Amino acid sequence: MTEVELQHLLAYWQPRLRLADWAVTVQLVTTREIGDHTINGTCDPLLQQKVARIQILRPEDHPDNSFLPYDAERSLVHELLHCWAVPFEPENQQSLAYTSLEQMLNALARALVELKRQGGQP
């Protein structure tokens, strides 16, 4: 995955997820920059301004012993979906509500990316 490929994916997904009116920036980052070795991406959205900064883990920083294979596209879609979820995100990231929200975003991202890859148009 390169920065250029990531920008192309953003250009593909942003309008399909009805986020074309958002100013979204995305970049590949190291584990140190992302600040957590257990995640593949982050989204810092500002709902009132419809602005978001998304960071996606670089492929070379993805652990070889991870349960899931590296998939920058799925991570990007998951992080973009956070823009819609902002009003529903609990403050406590250790709560069942937060875990449930993350599971929902993971399932949606996986389904949308699989649909695209099978030739469907999400």
CA distances from residue 95 to 3, 13, 36, 78 in whole angstroms, order as listed: 34, 29, 18, 19
Q: What is the model's pLDDT at position 64?
A: 75
**Averaged over 13-21, what is the pLDDT?**
97
Residue 34 has pLDDT above 90, yes or no: no
- The mean predicted confidence, pLDDT, of the chain is 91
The residue-averaged pLDDT of 18-30 equals: 96
Q: Residue 121's pLDDT band (boundaries 50, 70, 90)? A: low
Q: Which of 67, 84, 62 is nearest to 13 (CA)?
A: 84
Question: Which pLDDT does position 46 carry in this prediction?
Answer: 94
Higher pLDDT, 45 or 36: 45
Task: Report the predicted TM-score, pTM, of the whole model to 2 decimal places.
Answer: 0.90
Note the pLDDT tens digit of each residue in 46-104: 999 999 999 999 998 887 777 778 899 999 999 999 999 998 888 888 889 899 999 99
Mean pLDDT value across residues 36-51: 90
Specify the long-range contacts of residues 38-45, CB closer than 8 Å, at least 24 apart: 40/70, 40/71, 40/72, 40/75, 41/75, 41/76, 41/78, 41/79, 42/79, 43/79, 43/80, 43/82, 43/83, 45/82, 45/83, 45/86
